[in-house]
Chains A and B, each alone.
Chain A
Amino acid sequence: MNATTFETFRTELAGLAGRAPRSTLTDAERVARAKAVIRRRVDGRNAAYLETCLHCGMCAEACHFYVGTGEAKYTPIYKVAPLRRVYRREIGPMRWWYRLVTRDISAAELEAFQELVFDSCTECGRCDLMCPMGIQISPMIGIMRQALTAAELAPAEYRAVKAEQTTAKKDLGIGPAEIAALAARLTAEGVKVPVDAAKADIVYFATSLDVRLFPESVKDAARIFNRLGASWTLLGRSAELLGTGESNTEVNVTGIVAEAEQRGAKILILPQCGHAYPRMRFEAANILARELPFEVLTIAEYIGRQLKNGKLKLKPIAGRPKVTYHDPCKQGRHGGVFEEPREAIKSLGLDLVEMESHGRTCYCCGGGGGQFLIDRAQRLRQRTFEIKMHEADATGAKSLVTSCNSCRYNFLAGAAQASWHTEVQSLVELVGRQLAD
């Protein structure tokens, strides 16, 4: 990726907020819509968590936004305070009591929580590991995000993306035409990329970030599929799976599942994308209320499996350079993909030095969950990126490998600002370039 492409994309993101549609909802409508989402989504599992919280504050120490800034408002459990109040007043068994001693949520309060659930939470789930009661806070942040989205109180950037997805059927400027153009270019360069093939065992798709910034990752994924002689196709749709609201998520998930089913797919492989993986792997079946007829893997997981079963062979990189690996939260902590990328790193002959927080306790890149879209959150992102930077520096590695292009973008943006010179590398691209005969 050249510097101009990167800067153009950053400038475009900075102007995204200006393209958000105006909301015409009244305060009462906002509250009603937010509460309707909370009432629908909070189930017995969330209830047990909400009833058990001790207000001990330990979750703060797991959150990169609190650790990076020291600001108490970023305490994870505090971020779901409105949800908890709606639960207590309208859902929980003691609602008769809480209606007497607490007040209802207001539109102003919901608006004030926008910064807490979008700017300063990436749903990374690190707090879910810290809580001594086992409270899973990040799924409740997800409900809060959906509630605010329904109330048209999501940040302007999210609303702009959602509007673009809904009206132009594009995501950050990428639609079927751009994907087809990329596939044609890569095919012309000698790497065959079939798009929307009628039948395929493997269905793969590219995100807008892949097309805009990291087309090499599509090219190298194609090289891997082709080398394995797989029957595969790239989907000609760009629909992202952003957690910006139930409506878009449902539409996107439904569309992707339908397209994979049409092609008789046995495996749906997610690209180097963070949020797409848990959405398709663990949530899609629940959204559709039926089991999926195909397996869902992330590309790093697929590569690791093919290496382990000996179908894929790699040429080791000369000199056994020292690298560290960043576990994308949505693939690792939310998806259990830890071993497979490490299997690939081992097969590449790299000297892996783990950061202090790695695997399930890995710190977020700082911009996950779509947070990198929010222009005003730049300061927060940089503070959290610095945590990562210090952990990576402590390994002595001159190169950081990851298997998520959102994380990669955040690292590149953070590095540019902090003049950090560690090389940020893509797992799929490293593998694609080292394929052995």
Chain B
Amino acid sequence: MSLLDFARGPAFHVAILIFVFGVVWRLVGVFLLRRNRDLSPARAGHLLEGGMRAILMRSLPPHELEKHIVFQHASGYGWHIAYFAAFLLFGPHMPFIRQFLGFTWPTLPNTWCLALAAIALALLIVLLLRRIVNPVLKRITSVDDYISSVVTMLPLITGIAANAHVQLFGVRYEELLALHVLSVCALLIWFPFGKLMHLFLAFPARFQAGVLLQRKGVEA
């Protein structure tokens, strides 16, 4: 069995299993925890509307708050958009996506995706460096942050290398492709253990904050 066969076969299947089981375990564990009932009368109605609004509006805080976090906001949303666009709109990913979903969608030219991946990678590197030197981030950073950063960057690095047919340390294309798939496996395996879970929890957290603040009559 070649490295590529191993990556695409057993490694990927195990990674998917850990990912699915881990994500479900963590989500169910959180959502099944008891929730203290609120017995005070709400100051304002339309609680669900408040929750939905918070999902959207949390990305746009009021000016007096936003002005202090322009870089974090721009870089954060920037790398997420570039990352997902490079993943979801890259032609060579489509056979893989068809295998899972049974359908595909239009893609961007490969060079555009390469550029987007490079942008995402550059922003991730800047944010990682910032995490290392910024006193606030140093104070709240854990091993999870570094592992999550690395496993997020690895598919970009190996993907760019494989796509550009770069000979990294003399490694052949098939091996680079295998490393790319293995890096995705690493991402999937780590996913349920660390902060990457915010992909599934961010909107529920925003929603419940919106409901809570709506009860008090405060815009979330």
Which A residues are within 8 Å of any B CB, using their own CB?
43-45, 47-49, 51-58, 60-62, 66-67, 72-73, 75, 77-78, 81, 91-94, 97, 101, 126, 128-136, 278, 281-286, 289-292, 332-338, 356-357, 360-361
Shortest Cβ distance from B52 into chain A, in angstroms?
A: 12
Cα A131 to Cα B65 with chains together (Å): 10
B201 near A360: Cβ-Cβ < 8 Å: no
Interface contact tally, CB-CB below 8 A: 173
A73 / chain B contacts, CB cutoff of 8 Å: 139
Partner of A44, one of B32, B40, B43, B219: B32
A47 / chain B contacts, CB cutoff of 8 Å: 30, 33
B205 near A135: Cβ-Cβ < 8 Å: yes
Cα A334 to Cα B34 with chains together (Å): 23
Cα A135 to Cα B207 with chains together (Å): 10
A361 near B62: Cβ-Cβ < 8 Å: yes
A-B contact pairs, 17 of them (CB 8 A): A44-B32, A49-B205, A54-B195, A57-B139, A72-B139, A78-B140, A94-B25, A101-B143, A130-B61, A285-B39, A286-B36, A286-B38, A290-B39, A333-B218, A335-B218, A336-B216, A336-B218
Which B residues are within 8 Å of any A CB, using their own CB?
25-26, 28-41, 43-44, 54, 58-59, 61-62, 64-65, 68-69, 72-73, 76, 134-145, 192-193, 195, 197-198, 201-202, 204-210, 212-213, 215-220
Which residue of chain B has the shortest Cβ distance to A101 in the bound complex? B143
Shortest Cβ distance from B170 into chain A, in angstroms?
A: 36
Partner of B30, one of A48, A54, A126: A48
A45 / chain B contacts, CB cutoff of 8 Å: 35-36, 208, 212
B33 near A43: Cβ-Cβ < 8 Å: yes
Partner of A56, one of B26, B40, B72, B216: B72
Shortest Cβ distance from A160 into chain B, in angstroms?
A: 31
Known contacts A54-B198, A134-B58, A291-B39: A357-B64 contact under CB 8 Å: yes
Shortest Cβ distance from A321 into chain B, in angstroms?
A: 25
B141 near A55: Cβ-Cβ < 8 Å: yes
Shortest Cβ distance from B216 into chain A, in angstroms?
A: 5
Shortest Cβ distance from B211 into chain A, in angstroms?
A: 10
- Give the top 8 A-B pairs by smallest Cβ distance, nearest first: A93-B29, A336-B217, A134-B209, A44-B33, A61-B68, A285-B39, A134-B206, A72-B135
Shortest Cβ distance from B122 into chain A, in angstroms?
A: 18
Cα A77 to Cα B195 with chains together (Å): 15
A44 near B62: Cβ-Cβ < 8 Å: no
A66 near B39: Cβ-Cβ < 8 Å: no
Shortest Cβ distance from B81 into chain A, in angstroms?
A: 14
A57 near B140: Cβ-Cβ < 8 Å: yes
Cα A360 to Cα B215 with chains together (Å): 14
B36 / chain A contacts, CB cutoff of 8 Å: 43, 45, 286
A336 near B44: Cβ-Cβ < 8 Å: yes
Partner of B76, one of A56, A78, A97, A334: A56
Cα A300 to Cα B64 with chains together (Å): 25
B29 near A55: Cβ-Cβ < 8 Å: no
Partner of B136, one of A57, A101, A134: A57
A133 near B202: Cβ-Cβ < 8 Å: yes
Known contacts A134-B54, A134-B206, A285-B40: A44-B218 contact under CB 8 Å: no
Cα A53 to Cα B141 with chains together (Å): 11
Cα A128 to Cα B65 with chains together (Å): 11
Cα A216 to Cα B220 with chains together (Å): 36
A78 / chain B contacts, CB cutoff of 8 Å: 139-140
B195 near A53: Cβ-Cβ < 8 Å: yes
Known contacts A72-B135, A77-B140, A285-B39: A128-B209 contact under CB 8 Å: yes
Tell me which of A101, A278, A282, A283 has the highest count of chain B C-beta atoms within 10 A of its own C-beta.
Answer: A282
B43 / chain A contacts, CB cutoff of 8 Å: 335-336
B41 / chain A contacts, CB cutoff of 8 Å: 291
Tell me which of B138, B207, B219 has the highest count of chain A C-beta atoms within 10 A of its own C-beta.
Answer: B219
A286 near B65: Cβ-Cβ < 8 Å: no
A66 / chain B contacts, CB cutoff of 8 Å: 136
A81 / chain B contacts, CB cutoff of 8 Å: 140
Extra A-B contacts (10), CB below 8 Å, given A281-B40, A285-B38: A43-B33, A51-B197, A72-B136, A94-B193, A132-B73, A134-B202, A282-B40, A286-B37, A332-B218, A335-B217
B59 near A132: Cβ-Cβ < 8 Å: yes
Shortest Cβ distance from A279 into chain B, in angstroms?
A: 11
A134 near B210: Cβ-Cβ < 8 Å: yes
Shortest Cβ distance from A87 into chain B, in angstroms?
A: 10
